[in-house]
Amino acid sequence: MKIEQIYTGCLAQGAYYIESKGEVAIVDPLREVKPYMEKAEAAQAKIKYIFETHFHADFVSGHVTLAKETGAQIIYGPKANPSFEAVIAEDNQEFKLGDITIKVLHTPGHTMESTTYLLIDENGKAHAIFSGDTLFLGDVGRPDLAQKAKELTQEDLAGFLFDSLRNKIMPLSDDVIVYPAHGAGSACGKNMSK
């Protein structure tokens, strides 16, 4: 298994390349998809999945182009309603990638479709989470950026975020590695660490 962060400093954004047994998943790809395709080609691997943690407002995702170029499926968590072809996964749904598993943890709060992806290694052990904008290093995602409906307040979103952190993330083992979507400098959190 190989996990590589592809970090873009000017956006403080981290995309992730995950490879296992010739199959690849990309988490939160940037618009320029050639580097992901070149990396997979060099490893003689096939891009199978594109996991989106939520709809991004701070950068343009390359998911549609990457899916078109590779035949990979775009995966969103529950509550997503894209205008393009994608798999809308259910909470706790699992996706096989080589000899590892990616499990969907619906973690609303930053946005209602926010999803954390749990990587389970070849031995069945929780290894890492790709937390998107739910959990950062030193902070959590802002619940005040996704208010689209009058009936949904930032307090409502903060409550969803609290429940997501308490009920989905905190029960995980302390040795699970956290791979967030952003680092210090992003407006999606206020006190993020590098």
Superfamily of segment(s) 2-180:
Ribonuclease Z/Hydroxyacylglutathione hydrolase-like (3.60.15.10)
- Note the pTM of the prediction, 2 decimals: 0.88
Q: Are strands 177-180 and 126-132 parallel, antiparallel or unpaired?
A: parallel
Angle, vertex CA 21, rays to CA 24 and CA 105, nearest 5: 50
Per-block mean pLDDT, blocks of 10 residues, the chain (194 long): 77 82 95 92 98 73 92 96 94 98 94 93 97 77 63 85 95 95 52 54
181 phi-psi bin (left φ>0, alpha ψ -120 to 50, beta other): alpha
- Domain locations along the chain: 2-180
Q: Which two tokens stand for residue 29?
A: 């790809």
Q: Which two tokens stand for residue 175?
A: 């040795």
